[in-house]
Amino acid sequence: MTLAMTPQTEYTGGRTFFKHMGVDNILQMDVGHATFRPGSVRHGGHRVTSGTRYVLGAFLLLEDHVEHVRRLKNRGSELRTSRRLHEAINHFQWALALNPRCTTCLKDWAEILLSQKDYAQAEQKIQSALEMLEGLDSDALFTLGLILSEQGKDEESIAIYKRSIELNAEDAELCYNLGIKLGEIGDTRGELSLYKRATEIDPKMGGAWINMGITLAEAGDLESAEPMFLKAIECCDDVKTKGMMNLAVLLHKKANNLAANGDLNGAKMANNAAAKLVDNAKPLLNAKMAIGGLSPEDAMFAKQSKPLRVQIHRLCGQILAGQGDLVGCENEFRTASERFGDIPGIWDALARVLDLQGKSEEANQARQKLTEIRNSQ
């Protein structure tokens, strides 16, 4: 049953969807109104466009009737959550032996098979569920889209994702996944629109903010990409380092562009911001590494951190030299040599700026260090 708890004057949209209601499939329920139905009737909340709507949902169970299939399915889901997958599959099999039309069992089983990369069996299970659901279940279509995507069947997976989105345009993860697939086939406009939709549904979806930033940056729109990475950094720890490193790369590129166009002050500010991001990301990456928690992407950023920081030092020194601040330039390269003493280019740059200041003896010492490093490599 569903009981409406809010007067209709306090929200716009809303109402309750019933698949078999007829015209519009939408039932208006003012405060105090309730609906009762068999559990198998397909229904759901319709979108609220403004205000807030509260409903109270309840289930009525018959005291003298044990729902074995429901209990087996629920227990299977619990076992799946605790990663006891073989036991979970047994429970879904037992439930389906009692009721071969238990679509939720088939969907959960398909998701387990997907995680085990048994794509053929996973697709068979989810297709069976969709046949019984008349192809009108967005969750099952989403799972099918994942299965097809993992097999490299891009065109088929995109078509399935689009069918799913027609049924449920409020699924942030669905919009995000479809955006990725459209990006892979070069539909940048469609890709960006779906990432935008995903973040409107779930503003904390860091992956969508990251992908928007990357797509915009690759298209050369650095100004629009920058706030996307800032949004990602604010979202959650899972994507924080990814956002920081992507933004550092963007700001360093921006600094290079500004320097090339003669805006040394702007270049210095952008480059310093990039330096701060890399320095702040490094301990976060080290902490993940210490507990063995580096994802493949984090591992890539950990590897990228040093060469990027060296490039930032080098650009900073060049900017300072261009501004006539040779002392500042020297200090920058000395700091770089202390942090990354195995990089030949740093000692070469330090020797050059020392020469410009007439510090020949110190310049020769820097060149000697440069020779030692090159001979050891």
pLDDT in tens, 127-147: 999 999 888 888 899 999 999
Per DSSP, the three-state class of 11 is strand
Cα 340 off chain centre by: 32
229-266 pLDDT, tens per residue?
999 999 877 789 999 999 999 999 999 999 999 999 99
- How many Å apart are CA 174 and CA 264, to the nearest integer? 44
Phi, psi of 44 (to 5 degrees): 180, 170
- How many Å apart are CA 284 and CA 298, to the nearest integer? 10
- One domain, residues 50 and 74: no
- How many Å apart are CA 339 and CA 275, to the nearest integer? 13
Q: What is the pLDDT of residue 145?
A: 93
Contacts 24+ apart (CB under 8 A), 259-267: 259/315, 259/318, 259/319, 259/322, 264/319, 264/322, 264/323, 267/315, 267/319
DSSP code of residue 236: -
Q: pTM here?
A: 0.75
How many CB atoms within 10 Å of residue 224?
Answer: 15
Contact 250, 222 (CB under 8 A): yes
Q: What is the CATH number of the domain that holds 205?
A: 1.25.40.10
- One domain, residues 164 and 76: yes
- One domain, residues 164 and 67: yes
> In this structure, is residue 117 part of a structural domain?
yes
- Written as six digits, the tokens of 94 are 């037992």
Mean pLDDT for the chain? Answer: 91
Percent of the chain with pLDDT over 90: 68
> In this structure, is residue 323 part of a structural domain?
no
Query: What is the residue range of 11's domain?
Result: 2-57
> In this structure, is residue 264 part of a structural domain?
no
Q: What is the pLDDT of residue 23?
A: 58
Q: What is the pLDDT of residue 83?
A: 92
> In this structure, is residue 51 part of a structural domain?
yes
Q: What is the pLDDT of residue 140?
A: 93
Contact 73, 104 (CB under 8 A): yes
Percent of the chain with pLDDT over 70: 99
The residue ranking higher by pLDDT, 170 or 210, is 210
Total structural domains in the chain?
Answer: 3
- One domain, residues 29 and 49: yes
Q: What is the pLDDT of residue 377?
A: 73
* pLDDT greater than 70 at residue 182: yes
Q: What is the pLDDT of residue 19?
A: 72
Q: What is the CA radius of gyration of the chain?
A: 29
Per DSSP, the three-state class of 12 is strand
* pLDDT greater than 90 at residue 107: yes
Per-residue HEC secondary structure of 178-201 comes to: HHHHHHHCCCHHHHHHHHHHHHHH
- One domain, residues 46 and 72: no
- One domain, residues 141 and 226: no
Give Cβ neighbours of residue 289 (< 8 Å, ≥ 6 apart): 302
Give Cβ neighbours of residue 315 (< 8 Å, ≥ 6 apart): 252, 255, 256, 259, 267, 271
Averaged pLDDT for residues 279-287: 89
Q: What is the pLDDT of residue 31?
A: 94
> In this structure, is residue 363 part of a structural domain?
no
Q: What is the pLDDT of residue 321?
A: 94
Q: What is the pLDDT of residue 126?
A: 96
Closest CA to 242 of 229, 252, 255: 229
- One domain, residues 52 and 72: no
* pLDDT greater than 70 at residue 82: yes
Averaged pLDDT for residues 31-46: 82
Q: What is the pLDDT of residue 67?
A: 83
* Exposed e or buried b per residue across 279-313, where buried means at least 16 C-beta atoms within 10 angstroms of its C-beta: eebbebbeebeeeeebeeebeebbeebeebbbbbb
Residue 326 pLDDT grade (very low, low, confident, very high; cuts 50, 70, 90)? very high
- One domain, residues 103 and 158: yes
Q: What is the pLDDT of residue 22?
A: 61
If 0-12 CB within 10 Å is exposed, 13-18 middle and 19+ buried, where does residue 36 land? exposed
Q: How many residues does the chain have?
A: 377
> In this structure, is residue 281 part of a structural domain?
no
Written as one letter, the residue type at 12 is T
> In this structure, is residue 240 part of a structural domain?
no
- How many Å apart are CA 124 and CA 139, to the nearest integer? 16
Residue 61 pLDDT grade (very low, low, confident, very high; cuts 50, 70, 90)? confident
Contact 27, 21 (CB under 8 A): yes
Averaged pLDDT for residues 317-333: 95
